[in-house]
Chains A and B, each alone.
With several copies, the nearest count.
Chain A
Amino acid sequence: MRKLMMGNHALSYGAKLSRVQVIAAYPITPQTQVVELLSEMCANGELDAKFVKVESEHSALAASIGASAAGTRAFTATSSQGLALMHEMIHWAVGARTPVVLGNINRAMAPPWSIWTEQNDSLSQRDTGIMQVYCESNQEVQDTVIQSYKVAEKVLLPCMLVLDAFYLSHTYEPVDIPEQKLVDKYLPKFNPPYKLDPDDVHAFGGLTDAKWYYELRYKIESAIERARGEWRKADDEFGEIFGRKYGLVEDYKCEDADIMLVTSGTITGTARVTVDMLRDEGKKIGILKIRVFRPFPTDEVRDILGGAKKVACIDRNISFGQSGVFFEEIKSALYNSSHRPQIWGYIAGLGGRDVTPDTIREIVKRTEESDKPQELIWIGLKK
């Protein structure tokens, strides 16, 4: 069934189709429609889940993790300040190996207060071990929730699914809703190796000294590395059943491109439109869209960008005192690679500053005209 829905609804439908069993979430702009729709669904019986209406995001994730530990499929959603308040618990979900799925609406961090999009909230979680997937359409949002549970429960790690504030969260787009029974076929029941059960007594997460802590961390790293393959598999299988697939990254016209743009989130769609225009004008431009960001798709990035002469990375975020995060990560990924293109780093669209085809054009132009990479180019700064 095709339905017009905002990104927040797509997120909720994704959760519903995944038959989540416990939801614990707290409202925050621009995520509120998620808690509202899920409340509604739980209230009217459309969704057979328990909604814990917690008093903060810290509790939201703590409760979700608890529910996961009890052996149920748990879901939460938040944004910016709420995600930041969850930070300790994100580490927790990772260390506890509870495959909670968390929807995050990318919103700029305060102060000053802002409710507009920016990736600093989610990217600030890049060192916690939670998986991260950036979506560029509402369809992708809905589908990715389902895929996320598939992978998360396989490798026992939480997954954060990310969408841009307003550009997706509040934008109505057509979304194909798959049949529940197909989803059930794709996504089996959650069945963790250990759970809280008085008939099978275990303590979870007890004090672990230098003797074994290191090995447990190694297991997390192994799991998230395994997740690379699991994402590929889950996406392929999804494609077979539902006819849509997304990849860990997407290569848009990179094959013969002189300049490859690196994008994520909704900037991708705008860049795609712009690239089409530029190609009409005879310019060979391609796009590498990063979808799965954690685990970082090093192989794909090397494969695709390895063939580029010039790369222009567009970051709707900044790691202050360093550079854009995607920029940093792709440089790092390519460092020990055999082919190393020149890479320019652009900062754009922070705090909801609109990124339009003109913005993309300017980035392409500056990359064309320059022959020495620059690391921190602020596009559209009012001077």
Chain B
Amino acid sequence: MRLTIPEEEIMQPGHLACQGCGATLAMRYVLKGLGRKTILSIPACCCTVIDGPFPYSAYGVPIWHTAFETAASAAAGIKAGLEVLGDSETTVLAWAGDGGTFDIGIQALSGAAERGDEILYVCYDNEAYMNTGIQRSSATPLGAWTTTTPVGHPKDRPKKDMIAIMAAHRISYCATASVGYPEDLIKKVKKAKESKGTKFIHILAPCPTGWKARPDDTVKLARLAVETKVFPLYEVENGEVWRITKKSKGTPVIEYLKLQRRFKHLKEEDIKQMQNNVEEEYEKLLKKCENA
């Protein structure tokens, strides 16, 4: 048997993630991709808690727990320190949730990207503020229930297009990834590690608790999101060269939605609309990829 992802486990069991947590899978894969010469900057998010309480830790690499809005700026500071000390080898990994990236942390990230700080920024996206109990973020998809977009008034704004925003910053490398495709994910992590300046990876990490899904469906959901074109896998170099890394099959969106009770209230026409949106967006993405 040939393993398709690195065998060494950097992240340790005993952590505090819910049963079937996708974020944890993302962390496990990214650390496999980067290796032990990695320092984490983690703002408030589920992964803060998952790592475990003082004086214990699960991730197996040094962690700087930092304020919610400072994943990127703390990482930039750490990197500056390492540079002065002559360490050019260690990857400084800013690791934040969608809330910490799309919302409260976007300014620090944008600033780092503009300065070209040498950091890898990974956003694991579970599409809401999960650590605080499932409130909407700007990554929450249109139509989804959260506690602040209650049934009757589900989210009425589309998901922020974070990759487009980061591509507009013209950083050397950005990519999407999904915990349903660990090989693709780890390849991107390695590519990002080799790239200069600020790099950005956006990982879809299903959250059974927040999506009101079964814990055993996590990986399936992460795959379905890609297959249905809801969350295509692609990468962008220097803000210009767009490339699909995994073709989406075109599985109907309903297959993805029906496993999640956060979409339970959607009516047939809503789902139709969603299917249309997804197709349209995918077309646009393909167009961008033409120049690749």
Residues of A within 8 A of B (CB): 21-22, 24, 26-29, 32, 35-36, 39-40, 43-44, 48-50, 52-56, 58-60, 62-72, 74, 81, 85, 88-89, 92, 110-113, 196-198, 200-209, 212
Contact = CB atoms under 8 A, between A and B. Distances in A.
A52 B37 contact: no
A112 B59 CA distance: 17
A52 B63 contact: no
Contact of B132 (A28, A39, A203, A205): A28
Contacts of B147: 32, 35-36, 39
Contacts of B110: 55
Contacts of A196: 39, 62, 64, 78, 81
B274 interface: no
A72 B136 CA distance: 25
B179 interface: no
Interface residues of B, number: 65
B78 A69 contact: yes
A54 B110 CA distance: 10
A215 to B, nearest CB: 11
Contacts of B52: 203, 206-207
Nearest to B90: A198
Scoring B37, B41, B53 by chain A CB atoms within 10 A of each residue's CB, the highest score goes to B53
Given A66-B77, A198-B36, 4 more contacts: A43-B153, A62-B73, A66-B80, A201-B61
Interface string B38-65: 1101001000110111111101111111
Interface stretch (B111-119, B200-208, B218-226, B284-292): B111-119
A71 B81 contact: yes
In this complex, which of A52, A66, A197 has the most chain B Cβ atoms within 10 angstroms of its Cβ? A66
Interface stretch (B100-108, B191-199, B252-260): B100-108
- Select the residue from A40, A67, A111 with max chain B CB neighbours within 10 A: A67
A43 B36 CA distance: 34
B238 interface: no
B117 A62 contact: no
A54 B111 contact: yes
Q: 7 closest pairs, A vs B, by CB? A: A66-B77, A70-B81, A63-B77, A55-B111, A59-B73, A203-B57, A62-B70
B53 to A, nearest CB: 5
Contacts of A63: 73-74, 76-77, 80
A77 to B, nearest CB: 13
Interface string B130-168: 011101101000000001111011000000000000000
Given A43-B153, A50-B84, A204 B63 contact: yes
A27 B135 contact: yes
Nearest to B62: A196
B67 A89 contact: yes
Given A72-B84, A74-B77, A62 B90 contact: no
A105 to B, nearest CB: 12
B148 A67 contact: no
Contacts of B133: 27, 29, 32, 36
Nearest to B133: A32
B211 interface: no
B248 interface: no
A197 B41 CA distance: 13
B135 A205 contact: no
B85 A206 contact: no
Contacts of A24: 73, 76-77, 80
A226 B36 CA distance: 37
